[in-house]
Chain A
Amino acid sequence: MVTGWIELLLQGVLLGGLYALFGVGLSLVFGVMRLVNIAHGDLIVLMAYVGLLLTDKLGLGPFTALLVLIPLSCAFGFALQAALFERILNAGPLAPLLVAFGLAVVIQNSLLVGFGADSQKLTAGGIEVASLSLGSGIDVGVLPLLTFAIAVITIGALQLLVYRSSFGRLLRAVSDDRQAADLLGVNTRTIYRIAMAISMGVTAIAAIMMAMRANFAPSSGPTQLIFAFEAVVIGGLGNLWGTLAGGIILGVAQIAGAQIDAAWQVLFGHLAFLGLLAVRPNGLLQRMAPE
């Protein structure tokens, strides 16, 4: 009985790793350029389909595919920023939101045209079903564990990049005050492009992990966006570890809901989000800044 509960809790925590991976890309782009990329979920699904092409057509394993997908996705993000978002960022808060919204619909329906409405899954040669015994009868899936580990490593790496590197310094400077950064000769346009590229690199990781774990279809994007968004807001805007914490809370709430009824999995996540928003409007953790 108790081990059953511990197993469920663990499942929720590990699921949170995936949601954190969804969230950090969204959070990074918002933090740097105040763009809420409503197409983020659809970009995750798009990259999952590209991953599917790489494994199916080129016969790559999912992790080899990931190594190819990350640079592809980064380049795509860079181009997307240069071709689309940077033209609209200065036009007030509504315009970028709506452009991203249009992009989301275009991606969704392009996937529908290209791949059909059927749901797909990335086969990972057995690790999807493998599980690991932690002793005293507690088993966890290898794939969720791996996803969680990758999430922790990714967030740790981003944390180092943002708070310890000289590029991260510029990233934070631009995020604080773009005009001042411009005045000081920081090439803010390039910083934005790189930030979008990094975000899309993380998105590629999130996409492959999602595609191995669950079925996805062209219409899956909005759901992933909402999960990403919930993880980010629960954790506190501008705090990367907070997004992991937010993802974990979301994951645990969803697994708890799923025990009552499969349809309540998502609802419990939403309720946890709304409930937390009511008690802690700024999320769990504060935006990181010098003491």
Chain B
Amino acid sequence: MMSASDRLSHVLRTSIIAVAIAALALVVMWPMVGSLNSLRYLAELFVLIGLAQMWNLLSGYAGMATVGQHLFVGVGAYSFYGLAVLAGWPAPLALLCTPVLGAMSALPAFAMIVRLRTAYFAIGTWVLAESVKIIAAKLPGFGHGLGASLPVPVATAFGSSSATRLTAIFYLTFITATGLTLGMAVLMRSRIGLALRALRDQESAAHVFGINSRRLRPMIFAGVGAALALLGALTTLQRLRISPDTSFSLLDYTVNIIFIVIIGGIGSTAGPVIGAVIFIVLRESLANLGPIYLIILGLVAIAMMLFEPKGVVGLIDRLARLSLTIPFRRPILSSLSNRKRT
């Protein structure tokens, strides 16, 4: 027998899947109808979603909050430049290799700071990021502190006109963001997801799920490093240049991302997507406010943590429960994204 809330969440699931399919069709068709500017914004949105998913995976699920994820974004950007420009590899091959380099740099990074706990771990990642950023400015061939532009052959490798280039980037970022989001959803339903949640609550509980917790954390960390590096390379393709300050930007790849996840909802797969959309909309509508925009964002984030730590996802759950007289045993949205296998 299905209870009322089960039935409702079943209906909701079906309709969300339908909406998702419609949205997919729309996205696939979009480059044929949308303006170039819209392609730019959407590609940026997709990158933000990917970045936010990864921060959420580390901080919201795996209990490894970081304030230094710009490290791996920058590593990705610089590896892409190194492979495609300095080593002269074909750009698509270079792009495919950046995650490998990201994962390879994540493991020693993890080893260095693994002994720091919670918030100290977070600041440890930051110190690493700042160190690598300084080193990046000293590397020969990468334009030092000023950075370097992608030479024309690399810049046009994915399309010679801006329309084709933006379309290619649009699809690449879309596939990446969707892949990471779906990957998160699948991961969280798997044994690893259960072990992660157990690990977050209690260090010793993960072995219950047959998962070696000492290997799980570095594996997750390396996976996140790989994804972030890919996103860094994609950003480089968008911006057509690298530099220590922009490729390792604390604000763009860490601060804003943390706000996105807090506002969207920590610990849910839908949170980063919702947060990224809100972020872009807010930024575009408050663009002329300058620093005041960040003050507002900071205040909203603080208020969220104080009053609705599950972000907009939590708010939606609450509203859904309020608007229905049926007493819910499970929150709707989080049950969709977090349902444990029973």
- CB within 8 Å of B: which residues of A? 35-36, 38, 84, 87-88, 91, 93-99, 101-106, 108-110, 112-113, 222, 225-226, 229-230, 233, 261, 263-264, 266-267, 270-271, 273-274, 277-278, 281-282
Task: Find A91's partner among B59, B60, B262, B309 (CB 8 Å cutoff).
Answer: B309
CB distance A88 to B127 under 8 Å?
no
User: CB-CB < 8 A to B60: which residues of A?
Assistant: 94
User: CB-CB < 8 A to B266: which residues of A?
Assistant: 94
CB distance B135 to A38 under 8 Å?
no
A84 with B302: in contact, given A38-B119, A222-B250, A233-B120 (CB under 8 Å)? yes
User: CB-CB < 8 A to B255: which residues of A?
Assistant: 101, 105
User: CB-CB < 8 A to B63: which residues of A?
Assistant: 93-94
Task: Find B127's partner among A95, A106, A230, A282 (CB 8 Å cutoff).
Answer: A230
Q: How far apart sit A273 and B116, CA to CA, in the bound complex (Å)?
A: 12
CB of B298 within 8 Å of the partner chain: yes
CB distance A277 to B131 under 8 Å?
no
User: CB-CB < 8 A to B123: which residues of A?
Assistant: 36, 38, 225-226, 229
Q: Which 6 pairs show the lowest CB-CB distances between chains A and B? A: A36-B119, A106-B298, A281-B115, A105-B298, A109-B291, A102-B302
Closest to A281 in B: B115
Task: Find B130's partner among A87, A102, A226, A281 (CB 8 Å cutoff).
Answer: A226
User: CB-CB < 8 A to A105: which residues of B?
Assistant: 255, 259, 294-295, 297-298, 301
Looking at chain B's contact residues, the main secondary structure is helix
Task: Find A102's partner among B113, B122, B298 (CB 8 Å cutoff).
Answer: B298
Residue interface mask B142-165, A partner, CB < 8 A = 1: 000100000000000000000000
Task: Find A36's partner among B59, B118, B127, B128 (CB 8 Å cutoff).
Answer: B118
CB of B29 within 8 Å of the partner chain: no
Q: List B residues 87-137 near A (Cβ within 8 Å).
A: 112-113, 115-116, 118-120, 122-124, 126-128, 130-131, 134-135, 137
Q: List B residues 314-342 near A (Cβ within 8 Å).
A: none
Residue interface mask B248-292, A partner, CB < 8 A = 1: 001000010011001000100000000000000000000000111
User: CB-CB < 8 A to A95: which residues of B?
Assistant: 305, 309
Min CB distance A95 to B, Å, is: 5
Task: Find B126's partner among A87, A88, A226, A274 (CB 8 Å cutoff).
Answer: A226
CB distance A101 to B130 under 8 Å?
no
19 residue pairs from A and B, CB less than 8 Å apart: A38-B122, A93-B65, A94-B65, A94-B266, A101-B301, A102-B259, A102-B301, A104-B298, A105-B294, A106-B295, A110-B295, A112-B291, A113-B295, A270-B130, A271-B131, A274-B127, A277-B113, A281-B115, A282-B115
Q: How far apart sit A144 and B8, CA to CA, in the bound complex (Å)?
A: 68
Min CB distance B29 to A, Å, is: 38
Q: Most A CB atoms within 10 A — which of B124, B250, B259, B305?
A: B305
CB of B299 within 8 Å of the partner chain: yes
Interface residues on B, range: 35 or more
Closest to B303 in A: A102
Min CB distance A5 to B, Å, is: 24
Closest to B60 in A: A94
Closest to A232 in B: B120
Closest to A107 in B: B298
Min CB distance B139 to A, Å, is: 12
CB distance A97 to B118 under 8 Å?
yes
CB distance B59 to A94 under 8 Å?
yes
User: CB-CB < 8 A to A264: which residues of B?
Assistant: 134
User: CB-CB < 8 A to A35: which residues of B?
Assistant: 119
CB distance B126 to A97 under 8 Å?
no
Q: How far apart sit A108 and B119, CA to CA, in the bound complex (Å)?
A: 20
CB of B67 within 8 Å of the partner chain: yes
CB of B207 within 8 Å of the partner chain: no
Q: Most B CB atoms within 10 A — which of A35, A99, A110, A113?
A: A99
Task: Find B262's partner among A84, A98, A281 (CB 8 Å cutoff).
Answer: A98
Q: How far apart sit A88 and B308, CA to CA, in the bound complex (Å)?
A: 11
Task: Find A277's partner among B112, B290, B301 (CB 8 Å cutoff).
Answer: B112
Q: Most A CB atoms within 10 A — which of B60, B112, B127?
A: B127
A274 with B116: in contact, given A99-B302, A102-B302, A106-B299 (CB under 8 Å)? no
User: CB-CB < 8 A to B302: which residues of A?
Assistant: 84, 99, 102-103, 106
User: CB-CB < 8 A to A278: which residues of B?
Assistant: 112
Residue interface mask B46-75, A partner, CB < 8 A = 1: 000000000000011001010100000000
User: CB-CB < 8 A to B112: which residues of A?
Assistant: 274, 277-278
17 extra interchain contacts, Cβ-Cβ under 8 A, other than A222-B250, A277-B116?
Answer: A36-B118, A36-B120, A91-B309, A97-B65, A99-B302, A99-B306, A102-B299, A102-B305, A103-B298, A105-B294, A106-B295, A113-B290, A229-B120, A229-B127, A230-B127, A233-B120, A270-B134
User: CB-CB < 8 A to A282: which residues of B?
Assistant: 115
CB of B239 within 8 Å of the partner chain: no
CB distance A109 to B131 under 8 Å?
no
Closest to B145 in A: A263
Closest to A37 in B: B119
Q: How far apart sit A108 and B297, CA to CA, in the bound complex (Å)?
A: 12
CB of B138 within 8 Å of the partner chain: yes
User: CB-CB < 8 A to B306: which residues of A?
Assistant: 84, 87-88, 99
CB distance B134 to A263 under 8 Å?
yes
Q: How far apart sit A98 and B67, CA to CA, in the bound complex (Å)?
A: 10
A263 with B115: in contact, given A97-B122, A109-B295, A229-B127 (CB under 8 Å)? no
